[in-house]
Amino acid sequence: MTKSPRGRIGKRLGTVAVAMILGAGGAGAYTVAQERAAAETSRPHAAAKPVLSHELPFNAKLTAKDIPQLDGSVRSGACSGSLIAPQWVVTAGHCFHSIVGTPDSGPPRYHMAVTLGKLKDSDPGGETAQVVDVRQSPVSDLALAKLDHAITDIVPLALPTAPPTVGEPLQFAGWGSLSSTVVKPSDHLKRGTFTVAEIHEYTLGAAPTVPRTVENSPCPDDSGGPFFVSADGVTGTLVAIVNNGPACPQAGLENVARLDVVVDWIHRQMGLASR
């Protein structure tokens, strides 16, 4: 049975056609260190550094207020994500779509703000950016979102260098709804713990380690939220992201999109964009 996406931005359409991907061809080597060095060189000197959370500063809250509808109206929507390079966030593919709901690459059709470095909306400081470009994964409901400026005060999550293993512990973070029926993003970061229970070609099944609640597991608007490993709560490695099911907060495995199978594709996209 088809499951509903975790975000309200659009519907999950399964595998995204390669033809929709911008710049999916080969490119030279690219490293986060190169982008960070370039950003530091070009970034204007700020009067003061922003106040950032000491916990999970890489987590991202994505919000839009002007998503166009077929009847000419607009609506709001939200997703979650994580910083993986100074100017790039990983989130769910269905967070960016056309007016008829098909996943979109390129400049987004609506204004998507990204807030990083906070645990609560009311926290001071943080970093805010706008999404200016989107790349849809050719194999899963996952997208790369390019920011309008580099975030150099936060250490991005690292990309995996090996496949996940059954039994591997994972942490979850997201800004999703606290209800499956009254859908709006939370005013604080939700967190939970899971383990890898099943591994599939492009996804994995994550089992909760404690009974599910709306505070510790994905709900609507958690789409794109990271499943990651971290020893210090500040840095870590991104293993997978939220895309769909099961319903919130019912029992069952969480279906999440693997990062290890798209690492080369991610490097190519960022490398092409930096030219």
Residue 117 region, left (φ>0) first, then alpha (ψ -120 to 50), else beta? left
Contacts of 125 (CB under 8 A, 6+ apart): 50, 51, 52, 117, 118
Q: How many residues does the chain have?
A: 275
DSSP letter for 217, please.
S
Q: 169-261 is classed in which CATH architecture?
A: Beta Barrel (2.40)
Task: Kindly state the average pLDDT of the residues 228-249.
Answer: 92
Residue 30's pLDDT band (boundaries 50, 70, 90)? very low
Residue 37's pLDDT band (boundaries 50, 70, 90)? low
Contact 255, 245 (CB under 8 A): yes
Q: In this model, does residue 53 exceed pLDDT 90?
A: no
Task: Kindly state the average pLDDT of the residues 69-92.
Answer: 96
Residue 25 confidence (pLDDT): 34
Q: How many helices (H) and strands (E) does the chain have?
A: 2, 12
Among 185, 8, 172, 187, residue whose Cα is nearest residue 96: 8
Q: In this model, does residue 27 exceed pLDDT 90?
A: no
Q: In this model, does residue 122 exceed pLDDT 60?
A: yes
Domain residue ranges in the chain = 30-36+52-155+262-273, 169-261
Task: Kindly state the average pLDDT of the residues 8-17.
Answer: 39
Q: 30-36+52-155+262-273 is classed in which CATH architecture?
A: Beta Barrel (2.40)
Q: Residue 140 corresponds to which tokens in the numbers above?
A: 């899963």
Residue 5 confidence (pLDDT): 56
pTM of the predicted model as reported, rounded to 2 decimal places: 0.82
